[in-house]
A and B are shown apart, each in its own frame.
Chain A
Amino acid sequence: MADLRVHVGDLILRNPVMPASGCFAIEYREALDLNQLGALVIKSVSPKSRAGNPTPRVAETHGGMLNSIGIPSKGLDYFRANALPPYTAYDTPVVVSISADTAEEFAAACAEVSLPEVAAIEANISCPNLEADGMAFAMAPDTTYRAISAIRRRTQHPLWAKLTPNAANVAAVAKAAEEAGADAVVMGNTVLGMAIDVRTRKPKLGNVMGGLSGPAIKPIALRMVHQCHRAVRIPIIGCGGIATAEDALEFMLAGASAVQVGTASFIDPGVMQKIIDGLQAYCEQEGIAHLRELTGAVQLDRQLTDRWLRFAQQSG
C-alpha cells in the first residue's frame, strides 16, 4: 500500500481528497465512509442569517453546472450547536468554511469557530465584500491581504484562504494571502457565468448570474493552481472540476498538495472514495511510495521554447 498521506501546513491528512465547501453535507455519510476522507469541509457559514438566493438555484450547462445558492445561513450559534457536531464525530479533520461581509466580521467569525474540534478554518474570501461594492475579497491582492491579516490576528488555527478564479491575477492574490499569514490557499472556486432560456427569454438562474463548476472549468483551475504554485511557498489545495483520480493527480502534479471534490459528488455521491481508491491504484502501478512526492512534479522542459525557436529557423 502506498502512503497517501499529505501535509497541508502542520496538518497531516490521511489522503489528499476532501470535499469542496458547499458540495458536502452530513447526508453524504449515507453514501461514503467519512472516516476514509482526507478532511471534511463544511458548507460556508456566515455570522449573519441569510435566506439564500431565489430559485431556480441551479442550471445545467455543457460539462458543468451553474449555481446561485447564496450561502443560506442560520448564524454561528446555530452552526455550533446543530450543524458542526455530527461532523466532529468522525476520525477525520473538520474544516469550517467561513463567509462574511467585512474583514472585521470575518475575523470575529473565525475567532468564534477556532474550537478544539475544528482542525482548520477556510476563509471563503471569494464571497462579496460589502466594503468594496460587493466585489469579492479575493478579486484583488489588497482586499485579500486585509481580510486574511484581520483573521490571522484573531486565530491560531490553520487558516486556508479560498481564492476565486474570477480574479485577474490569482498568483498576486495567492501571494497576498501568504504574506497576510494564510497557511494554505484553496485554488479555486466557481467561475462567474450565466445562461438564458431562449424560449422563455428568462435567465436560467433566479439570481441571473451564478458560479460555473464541473469538468467545464477544470483546465482553468489547473492552470491557476500551477500559477499559484510558482508564486507561493504555502501549500495549495486544488479545486475545480475534479471528478476522477486522474484529475486529482493532474492537480497534484501542477502543484497542489491536496484536492477538493465538489460537483462530481452530485453525479456520484460515492465518487470521493473512488478517487481515493484510484490514487492508491495509480501509486501501485507507478511504483510510487509516497503520493505527496507528486506535488509540483509536472515535468517542465524549460529549454523547449529556445530549442523550438532554433529548430524553426530552418523554415523559410
Chain B
Amino acid sequence: MNAVMSEQPAARIGTGAGCAAQVASHRCEVMEHRWVNARYKYLRLRAQAPLARITGCGQFYQLRCPVSERQQPFLLRPMSVYGTGPEDGTVEFLYNVTGVGTRALADLPVGGAMEIVGPLGNTFGFEADYKRILVVARGVGLATMAPLVREAGNNGVAVTALMSARSPADLMREEFLRGVEAQVHSVYDSDGSSAVEHIEILLRELIDTQAPQAVYTCGSHRLLMLLQRVLADYPQIRGEVAMEQRMACGMGVCLSCVRLFDCSKEAGKQDMQFLRVCREGPVFPISTVVGEVEFG
C-alpha cells in the first residue's frame, strides 16, 4: 500500500472506485523519546514514507502503542501531530502520559519500532497572506497547534499566543513556539489569572488592538465556549477549534467519535448534525460547536 503523494492531504476525500489504497500503516523507528516535564513526553519517529510532506496542520495519526506486561492497550490511540520534518519521514508527537495507551507508549525505547496509521482527519484553515493569528492553547492542545505556529512563522505571519496552564512549570512555552517569535500572554490556575472573566477581557483587548485574521484553539472546552461567545461579535475573523472525542477506527467508519454541530448555512435555519471528529474534523469552525452537557 502506498501513502498518498499529495501536498494537500484533505484532497484525498472523495476518491472514486478502483483507486489504490492511500491510508497506510507505517512502521516507524523511534529516533528520540524523552520527558519534557513531569507529565509530558516528546516522541520523534521516522517512517519510510514521506510523512512530513503528506501531513497537514491539525491532522493526527493512530498509534499502535506497544503492549507490555504492565500495559495492554487494545485500540489504536489517536494523537495529533506535534511537528514534521526536516527529514521526509519524520513525524513528532508531544503527549501527556495519562492512561493505559500513553503509559505503554512512554515505555517505547529509542531504536524501537511502532506502527502508526495516517495521516487522518482534516487540517486547520490557514492562509499564507494573513497578517496575524491568535492561538489560544491549554494543556495538550498546544501540541495540536504547534504546527500552525510553525506554519505562521514560515510565512511571516505574526503570532499572538494566549497560553493557559495549571502553573508556570506546566506552560511549555518553548515547546509550543519552537523558536517562532510570538507575543505570549500566559495565564495560570495557580494565581487565578486563568479565570474566564479575566481571559475574556484579555481576549477582547487583543482582538480589538491586533485584529487577527484567524483565531485557533485546542485543549479546553471552557476556553472554546468563551471564544465562541467572544467571536460572535467578530464575524469577519476565522475561528477554528481542534476537537477531541473517544475514537476507535479513526477513519470515519465506526461512528464512535461523533459530536453535535450546528451546520446552519443561514441565520434562523437550524441544521444540527452529528459529525465525526475523526473525519469531518478534528478541526471545526468555533461557531458550529454545540456546547454540550458532559456525557462522560
Q: Which chain A residues have a beta carbon within 8 Å of chain B's beta carbons?
A: 22-25, 27-35, 43, 51-52, 54-65, 67, 69, 72, 86, 89-90, 200, 202-204, 206, 214, 265-270
B279: nearest residue on chain A (CB-CB)?
A27
Contact present for B295 and A56 (CB under 8 Å): yes
Most buried by B among A29, A60, A214, A266: A266
Q: Within the assembled complex, what's the spacing in Å between the Cα atoms of A29 and B250?
A: 14
**Residues in B whose Cβ lies below 8 Å from that of A60:** 73-75, 100
Interface of B is mostly: loop
CB under 8 Å from chain A, chain B span 239-262: 245-259
A57 lies within 8 A of B255 (CB): yes
Q: How distant is the Cα of A17 from the Cα of B220 in the complex, in angstroms?
A: 43
CB of B24 closer than 8 Å to a CB of A: yes
- Determine the residue in chain B with the shortest Cβ distance to A70: B255
A308 vs B158: C-alpha distance in the bound complex, in angstroms? Answer: 82
**Contact status B253-A265, CB under 8 Å:** yes
- The secondary-structure label for the interface of chain A is loop
The digit string for B64-90, where 1 denotes a CB below 8 A from any CB of A, is: 100000001111100000000000000
B1 & A31 in contact (Cβ 8 Å cutoff): yes
Chain B interface residue count: which class? Answer: 35 or more
Q: Can you list 8 contacts pairing A with B, beta carbon distance less than 8 Å?
A: A29-B19, A30-B251, A43-B255, A52-B255, A54-B296, A55-B296, A65-B248, A89-B17
B249 surroundings in chain A (CB, below 8 A): 23, 265-266, 269
Interface residues of B in 214-257 (CB under 8 A from A): 245-257
**A30 x B74 contact (CB < 8 A):** no
Q: Mark B256-296, 1 if CB is under 8 A from A, else 0.
A: 11110000000000000010000100000000000000011
Q: Is the CB of B74 within 8 A of A64?
A: yes
Residue from the list A25, A33, A52, A58 in contact with B274, Cβ < 8 A: A52
Q: Are A55 and B258 in contact (CB under 8 A)?
A: yes
* Nearest B-chain residue to A88, judged by Cβ: B17
Inter-chain contact A58/B22, CB cutoff 8 Å:
no
Q: Report Cα–Cα, A61/B22, bound state, in Å.
A: 30
Also in contact, A30 and B76, with CB within 8 A (given A55-B246, A57-B256, A268-B117): no
With CB as the reference atom, state the residue of chain B lying closest to A63.
Answer: B74
A266 touches B254 (CB 8 A): yes
Known contacts A58-B254, A67-B256; is-contact A30 B75 (Cβ 8 Å): no
The CA of A51 and the CA of B17, in the complex, are separated in Å by: 29
Asked if residues A65 and B274 are in contact (CB atoms below 8 Å), the reply is: no
